[in-house]
Structure 1
Amino acid sequence: MHALLTHPACWLTLTLLAYLVGLSMHKRCQRSAWSHPLIIAVALLLPLLWLSGISYPQYFDSARPIHLLLAPATVALAVPLYANLAHARSMLKPLLIALVVGGLCGITSALLIGQLFGLPREALLSLAPKSVTTPIAMALSGQLGGNVSLSAAVVIVTGVIGALSASPLMRWLGIRDEAMQGFAIGLSSHGIGMTRAFQISTRVGAFSGLGMSLNGIFTSLVLPLLMMVWPL
């Protein structure tokens, strides 16, 4: 049994099956935010990982082929964005302001809340890149001395919260512009929030992809510099 559980094909297969189950349940629930396929897949896989005693690094190595697909999937976001290129150019200045303010808030809020609860340095460094997509967050966390596994988990939780709260929060704030909605979702809740954004409309999804991509670049450049002066 142990040999089977440690075989790379085992967890790759289980991950794909869990996502297919989540996708089926998501459709049955009329694509509501709380039934996001990723939420269901994680809920199915966590007990299996805990019972089997498989560590996250072992699991990640087994599911690496799925991780590698993130790069071409991200590049494919250029297609809907190209269709909205003129709109994006007309909003360049406010989008850049939103990027700087939102990107810094994403980093500093995690650090301040972590310090408020007395978390150690390693945990703080793991929380700081919570609002960027998983590969970037893991790379930054590893380079800065954080816990890569914790960063991956925090990124997923951040994305799920963003996907669940995006539509109600936008309605409550009275934000109706689809470009603004999408950019905010992508900037704060990366790929998981972006999947929810595409369910709202193609334009919301396109600007969500733009927000996710730009925040990944911004955080990669700013976070290492900020950590040089932040009192940890």
Structure 2
Amino acid sequence: MTGIDAATDTLLEVARSPLGLLGVTLGGYQAGRWLQRRTNDHSLAQPVLVAIVVAGVAITLLDVDYPDYRAATELVAFWLGPATVALAIPLHAQADRLRGFVVPLLVAIVLGAVTSITSAVLLARWLGADRALEETLATKAATTPVAIGLTESLGGIPPLAAVFALAIGIVGAVAGPALLHVLRVHDRRARGLALGAVSHGVGASRMLRENETEGAFAGLSMGLSALAISVVLPILALWLF
């Protein structure tokens, strides 16, 4: 019995180690990719969503504090930067599709940023949210690092901003393509532009699986939306807050 207990303690110690937690995270993502293939790319089978569920269950059962988990998986966070920059590769291959589309694209990005910020703040206010939550929700359409930085500068709650950004990204990746189909948006560029602006990295990844043009424009939209929100939000904050 003592030997079994010792082996169990050793396994738990390994699972709680940085390498073990990193393995859980990567394993959860691979499980999501496997599920995605098995379900023929079903919209609900998002690898990021599966990885979140697996990691959440694991750290709960292992009694690991989130700061410890975050520190253990810093390598994943580091490689998100190069992975995001790599989205420019499919866009370069689709550069000719930008002809005649630059002005509508920029107008749509700016209007989308204004609408996203204003609607989130006013809806939160109507529902009785306090100012800190309003400031946190205002950045939800930006990529996670940008949302955290902007929320911090406004005085909101940065960790909650990261949750909102990730949640809206997953929801958009799951429901976005079907909604665009219902709305009869068939232009590949417009579809990618719309989902990239709302769901940033997760949405861009989903659109790359749908179509290379959609994925390329989703990546472009993600970057431009983050830039537009960074510029527009301080101006709108003078009126909203």
TM-score by length of 2: 0.88
The residue number in structure 1 matching 2:191 is 181
Separation of aligned partners in 1, 2:209 and 2:99 = 24
Residue 146 (structure 1) aligns with:
156
Please state how far the C-alpha of 1:3 moved relative to its aligned partner: 6.7
Cα distance change of structure 1 residues 44 and 83 upon mapping to structure 2, 3 Å threshold: same
Corresponding residue of 1:72: 82
Q: CA RMSD in A?
A: 1.9
Structure 1 match to 2:4: none
> Distance between the aligned counterparts of 1:64 and 1:105, measured in 2?
33
Task: Report if aligned partners of 2:24, 2:58 keep a CA contact under 8 Å in 1.
Answer: no
SS of residue matched to 1:167: helix
Amino acid in structure 1 at the alignment position of 2:209: Q
Shift of 1:178: 0.2
TM-score, with length taken from structure 1:
0.91
Partner in structure 1 of residue 231 of structure 2: 221
Matched, 1:45 2:45: no
Q: Which of the residues 75, 79, 91 maps onto 1:81?
A: 91
Within a 5 Å distance, the mapping from 1:9-158 to structure 2 comes to: 9-158=19-168
Q: Deviations over 1:148-188 (max 9, x none)?
A: 22111111110111111122111111111000000001011
Q: Rate the CA distance shift 1:106–1:55 in 2: closer, same or farther, 3 A.
A: farther
Structure ID, larger Rg: 2
Query: Of 212, 215, 240, which aligns to 1:230?
Result: 240
Q: Using the alignment, how far apart are the partners of 1:51 and 1:230 within structure 2?
A: 42
- 1:57–1:149 Cα contact (<8 Å) kept: no
How far residue 205 of structure 1 moved from its aligned partner, in angstroms, is 0.3
| Fraction of identical pairs, as percent | 33
Q: Alignment partner of 2:44: what SS? A: helix
SS at match of 1:90: coil
In the alignment, the residues of structure 2 paired with residue 82 and residue 92 of structure 1 have an alpha-carbon distance, to the nearest angstrom, of: 15
